[in-house]
Structure 1
């Protein structure tokens, strides 16, 4: 099969060209260290490493020296959900003194080491086994001595250097983007609908629009682990929007106060890229006072008053396409609205139709920098979700077969 024979020749290194070196944090660091590192970095997540340089042997079974291993990754969502715990809301500064190990996912295999010579198929297989990020060594750009001098002048968050090597992330998005560039080789699969291909998963997290946002913290962490999102629906099951880890990762830690006090619907307004309406902002402060959560209230008021936007959102999503879809007053989608855009700005969902083609869904996800797309009916009711692993499974099966039935 020409398509398979060509793609099977590619190695992980081919997908890592131009990737920036990872920045890292030691497993002995505190959550406060992680918070500072995330705020000073352009990346949405930080790699966490466990190193034992007393080891004299190397084991390359996992793609590198086992004296230094990337054991996980952290993003702002981990910190926000940790601060949402009742005891941590009362004393956030004490909570930030906890070790970063308290935030690491207990789901095994989410981060895996691989060598640059590993094949594309091996990378896909690891993702299908649950890996979110593959850690790949890249060529070090400096000599050891110049690297030490460079690091001495840099901040506490530095490129990862282990045994003379730097590393980079290889993500699900990187693999999907690579396959999209070669989509013509998979004809006719790209033109088939996500429904016909069996890509729609009905197992997803959701929360009613008027429910307390704090009831969704477990679902938010699950969706972070699965690289999906939490659907926000009305009483009729219509998709109103979402609480997305991708969006929360662009916020700061004070969003924990909003999650603790607002409904799911109000939280969407709070984290919207335009900033929270003033009445919602006031509601958060009043409810914190009523619950006597003076610790998080102090953090909330200090941080929000010192920023240009009271929601303290970063501008990393300014390049997202402008929305061209609106909601009518009932909360349902207009029949004339496009299914290929966000409903309204960042707090809302990327959606498609069961009849949408695979290639269209892939392009939507890549364009909006998400790893999933919601599937809705004409009336806006949620059918399910299409995820990157679902899509990769289809391509993996194609690479295993010379024909497509």
Structure 2
């Protein structure tokens, strides 16, 4: 435990009803409410006191719903762009980078901002919980949770589509407390979620909770906290590629806390979020001004997901309609859902590497591509204060510098396996 750390003081609040209640340790929903709603952490400290870099991610502990700090974390880093900014004619472009870039001061060895979620969620888990954590993901999230749980001896079951297991690489062999199951080749993230839902209902297992987990959202919100506390004020625009949109919801929530803090301005940054063509369900719902996701054929969705370069942006059931979710965030903060093709993403990644000096993940390249378009079309002006959230990068750099170890699945299930089969086979793993 870090010297000087004491558990963060906070209560929880339903977005829908405004009702406040105590965190019972792993509360994911407002007690007694019938209509689905995200809940929020309301922190005792209204002005954030950012600790020094030796705390890693936990330098933002005032606004993380945690009872303990874990070893090995790294915080996102924010710096003022020179190369890309000059190329695009932007005078106030700031890049928040989560990934591996020791020269800039960030050492996320999974090279993804999903580490911010994992260290926060696992910091919310107390040893007394004594359950196996269940996480479903398209790759990056599972890699981050596997690293954190392996290093801190936390039992974990991850569910990933078989086609994505190449994403489960690590700098050292993974501890036995972490197990992987898959939905077979041809399946997608939605199929992995189906598996995880069955397992999470079993005795001795607990769902991580995704967007409903305040620790996940407030962990991701550290990207915005990094930007605002570095720059000194809230940006005008926030650019990020989205799968579920949870990161954008987190940015909006952090923005509201920062307004309440009183030292960084009172504006809401416009959420300029992006999807990878041809997979664009959030874009289509937003453009139709629909709170609900539009119907999407399962087979067509799987086909579109096969085509996109940024596989992590492939969530078919995002927290968009739910009260306090992405639809509400966009309505309140303003902004838009933008699109970029694989080809645009390739060009943007190459440009980032040349002008900024590091490789970036395909999802980050989608965000960068939409920023390039926005600058060229005049959607953003040259003196606008812009935050570009690079949610993953430095992977090629990391892989050239380190030996890699891969996690192999314990079980590969058919698409839509029977509940009894899943329960029987998973029960034997732990």
Scaled by the length of structure 2, the TM-score of the pair is 0.24
Q: TM-score, normalised by structure 1?
A: 0.25
Instruction: Point out the structure with max Rg over C-alpha.
Output: 1
